[in-house]
Amino acid sequence: MDAIHDAAQQARNLRQVLQDDKQRIGCFLGAGCPLGIYDADEKSSVVLIPAVVELTKRVADGLLAIDKTLGAKSTLKANWDSLCEECKPADGKNPTVEDVLTELRTLANRRGNAEVLGMSKAVLSDLDDKICELISTEMKKVLPEYRNSYNRFASWIGGVHRDFPAEIFTPNYDLLFEQALERHPLPHFDGFVGSREPWFDLASIEHDAIPARWTRLWKLHGSINWEKSEEIVNGTKVTRVVRVSHEAAAGKVMIFPSHLKYDQSRRMPYLAMLDRLRAFFRGRDAPRLIICGYSFLDDHLNEVLLDGLLGNRNAQCFALMYSKLEDHPKVVDYAVKQGNLTVLAKDGAVIGTRAGQYRVGSSGGEEQKPWLYEGTGTVAGTSDTHCRLGDFHYFGLFLEQLCGGSGHDANTPA
């Protein structure tokens, strides 16, 4: 890394993008965002929803607990362990729950009925249902009432009158963004229409006739309140995906953290959501995408993002990373080859394909802002300037500052 970057200048560039009401803007917000919910004193993360490593551990523990309850006849944990061993990455790291579900669904959707790893298709289906049920349990969290990063994000969404609707893309299947948008309240469209039992309607998405003031919320990996509904209509079984007011029933929850979607009821919403991400980059204008809480570990989503940036050179993407550049080699490798992808990490950045640390004094006029701070440099010409915008908590504070401050008591949501 031979370049030296100005952290404060990059913060100003980002501020200008976020305040622009003429360009299309989108936010890609990943699994790290729930970790950016701090306590009411804003001292530390409350870890409302666990990151994928901890989630994987809790799912494994939950399967073991079910086995103990059901007795010796239940082999959920043993089957989980077999799948973990089967899909262990080449680097020897432990697979995540998303890796396991990908492997499980690949096996369950194969041709033929022979057992694999000692499991029939029925056993695999039951394990899938139990895993999704445990995931849903971990996701059933209520957004805190006091002002936090999600409320600040929603305030920013509602504080700018745009020519184009803001679009939120998230692989998260919790309901935190929905809660934040509804508390303010801000109208939003997620692909479902209706009142009693809203159903997923592809035509409404494709025609996109919803007013610009309605924020678009695209849940790329499904949601814990999406449910597969099967009904008999005129003697024919009809399968739909509906959004329920509660969490989806066991065995019907529509969450799919893998990209292998073989049965049609799962494929349709998944592919439609991915197409919204692709469509965001289309056209000759200059859409702006802000990424936060996402570590670029999903190659399938990475492919869509990179293809979009490559296909529209006017597009610009800011990837706000939680930790140091060296901790995110994949996105750094992307950015040194892709000029319209800017990476702002904790200790350095990749700007215009050039990777480097932040220079001494680069907090500039931002030194009083919590998202930038400085320490003592250890390398000549550089400093301990830290950019904390990759932490959704500090990104929320940054957005709040764009709106001129909260104007509210610290314990109120809006």
Q: What is the tens place of the pLDDT at every residue in 315-339? A: 999 999 999 999 999 999 999 999 9
Tens of pLDDT, residue by residue over 357-390, are: 998 765 555 545 888 877 654 444 445 778 999 9
Tens of pLDDT, residue by residue over 110-140, are: 888 889 999 999 999 999 999 999 999 999 9
**Mean pLDDT across the stretch 175-198?**
93
According to the model, what pLDDT value does residue 364 have?
54
Given a contact cutoff of 8 angstroms between Cβ atoms, the answer to whether 284 and 315 are in contact is no
Query: Looking at 64-78, 86-100, 169-183, 221-235, which range is the least confident one?
Result: 221-235
H/E run at residue 310: helix 299-311
Cα maximum dimension of the chain: 76
According to the model, what pLDDT value does residue 410 have?
37
Give the burial class of 298: count Cβ atoms within 10 A of its Cβ; 0-12 exposed, 13-18 middle, 19 or more buried.
Answer: buried
Residue 247 has pLDDT above 80, yes or no: no
Strand 167-170 and strand 188-189: the pairing is: unpaired
Task: Give me the half-sphere count of Cα atoms (radius 13 Å) on the Cβ side of residue 219.
Answer: 25
Give the C-alpha distances (Å, rounded to integers) separating 309 from 173, 319, 326: 25, 13, 23
Q: DSSP secondary structure string, 119-130?
A: B-HHHHHHHHHH
Task: Please state the length of the chain.
Answer: 414
Would you kindly state where each structural domain of the chain is located, as residue ranges? 3-49+142-402, 52-139
Closest by Cα among 367, 374, 369 to 399: 369
Residue 84 has pLDDT above 70, yes or no: yes
Closest by Cα among 211, 209, 191 to 201: 191
Residues ≥6 apart with Cβ < 8 Å to 362:
5, 6, 7, 8, 9, 383, 385
H/E run at residue 40: none
**Mean pLDDT across the stretch 55-68?**
96
Amino acid found at 206: E
Residue 17 has pLDDT above 80, yes or no: yes
Tens of pLDDT, residue by residue over 290-308, are: 999 999 988 889 999 999 9
According to the model, what pLDDT value does residue 262 have?
40
Amino acid found at 12: R
Which stretches of 336-371 are DSSP H helices?
A: none
How far is it, in rounded angstroms, from Cα 265 to Cα 197?
17
In percent, how much of the chain has pLDDT > 90?
59
What the block records as the tokens of 75 is: 């082999």
According to the model, what pLDDT value does residue 373 have?
77
> Could you tell me which residues are beta bridge partners of residue 25?
288
Residues ≥6 apart with Cβ < 8 Å to 238:
230, 231, 232
Which strands sit side by side in the sheet containing 253-255, from one edge to the other? 192-193, 199-200, 236-243, 222-233, 253-255
Amino acid found at 269: P
Mean pLDDT highest for which of 15-24, 195-204, 244-253? Answer: 15-24
How far is it, in rounded angstroms, from Cα 362 to Cα 37?
27
According to the model, what pLDDT value does residue 205 have?
87
Three-state DSSP class for 333? helix
Task: Give me the half-sphere count of Cα atoms (radius 13 Å) on the Cβ side of residue 383.
Answer: 18
Tens of pLDDT, residue by residue over 252-265, are: 777 776 655 444 44
Given a contact cutoff of 8 angstroms between Cβ atoms, the answer to whether 314 and 289 are in contact is no
Tens of pLDDT, residue by residue over 90-110, are: 777 899 998 899 889 888 888
Give the burial class of 43: count Cβ atoms within 10 A of its Cβ; 0-12 exposed, 13-18 middle, 19 or more buried.
Answer: exposed
Three-state DSSP class for 219? strand
Residue 348 pLDDT grade (very low, low, confident, very high; cuts 50, 70, 90): very high
> Could you tell me which residues are beta bridge partners of residue 239?
230
